[in-house]
Amino acid sequence: MHIAALTLSVLLALVMLGSGMMKLVRAPRIVTAMAAVHVTPSQMSVLGIVELLATVGLIAGIWLPPIGLAAAIGTVLYFAGAILAHLRAHDPDRNGAIAFLALAAATLTLIAVAS
């Protein structure tokens, strides 16, 4: 795997790990942010698990590129959905989701090129 793809895969995996864990432990800041986009506590648990699975997929992709590619595609779709949720809820605080989407898209691009 190309060094840039590897670097972004690990960075995105760390972002997903942190975000997923914060959802699962119900960090107050995350609970408030999720409430603004009408995400219920049970939905937040599912989203946290999805983020942890993305972490596993991105790390596994270091050795199994198709798994990393699939995880990167899923992560792009995940953050596109997050942005749509912010738009639907008329929540102006979507900069984090936009930044994470950009990171996920860059990671996906580099993984696809490196494969």
The predicted structure's pLDDT at residue 115: 81
What pLDDT, in 10s, does the model give residues 56-66? 999 999 999 99
Asked whether the predicted pLDDT for residue 93 surpasses 90, the reply is: no
Asked whether the predicted pLDDT for residue 1 surpasses 90, the reply is: no
Number of other CB atoms surrounding residue 31 within 10 Å: 16
Q: Which residues, at least 6 apart from 40, have a Cβ–Cβ distance to it below 8 Å?
A: none
What pLDDT, in 10s, does the model give residues 27-86? 999 999 999 999 999 999 999 999 999 999 999 999 999 999 999 999 999 999 999 999
pTM of the model: 0.93
The residue ranges of every structural domain in the chain are 3-114
